[in-house]
Amino acid sequence: MPCLNPIPAPTASVMVPMLTDAALLRLLQLSSAALPVGGYSFSQGLEYAVECGWVIDFKTTEEWLALGLSEGLGSLDIPIASRLYCALDEQDSTAFHYWNRYALAARESRELLLADVAMGDALLRLLSNLPQALSETCNKLEPSFLAVFVSTAWQWQISEKACVIGLVWCWLEAQIAAATKLVPLGQTQAQQLLGLLQQQIPAVLDRAATLQDDDIGNTLPGLAMASALHETQYCRLFRS
């Protein structure tokens, strides 16, 4: 379904615009694993993937996360984040609400939707107790974590490109932390994996920038099945 107020797909470049010291510090704060939004509570399907033998070692973990990065974040979250940011720049609340609803509708299991909404609510509650200004945009809708994250970055004068990289970092760090517990991986392997996957991020961002509105959507049936089946998994470390 096309947006009522279409926003053209933004262009991407490998270089990140220079941030002010204040914006950089706020990006680090927003992207930190210490941010109490509950991201560590969800495995995004990885726990079931380990349980059923899809992910068993360093190599298969890299393959699982690389696919999630390119076909999950790269095809859905990143292009939507760019459109949310553009909508805020243009003061287009209709477009902002549309892409927030689109993000929520694209979650292919109840668990994935729960993670998005629960983390969005948690970030909103946290922001209400911080000294930095809180955007009013997200208080008028059921927010996805994606929408609250982007709105906060925009309000804190973090550039769009830096915002998107911060979003990717949040996902990647949380997934590697989960894999460290589940596969399991050693701490050195986790850092090696983080380094390998970081190298793929520029290409993922460039591809995401070429997507038109009708092209946005993830194609990860294995993730959807793993997330749905996680609900009935006999023993679980992560929330479902």
DSSP codes joined into one string, 45-112:
THHHHHHTTS--SHHHHHHHHHHIIIIIIIIIIHHHHHHHHHHHHTT-HHHHHHHHHHHHHT--SHHH
DSSP 8-class letter at 223: H
Report, in angstroms and rounded to the nearest whole number, the Rg of the chain calculated over CA atoms: 17
CATH code for the part of the protein at 41-230: 1.10.4190.10
Instruction: Give the pLDDT of the chain (240 residues) as one tens digit per residue.
Output: 334 444 444 444 445 567 888 889 999 999 998 888 887 788 888 999 999 999 999 999 999 999 999 999 999 999 999 999 999 999 999 999 999 999 999 999 999 999 999 999 999 888 888 776 555 666 666 789 999 999 999 999 999 999 999 999 999 999 999 999 999 999 999 999 999 999 999 999 999 999 999 999 987 889 989 888 888 877 777 766
Predicted model pTM: 0.88
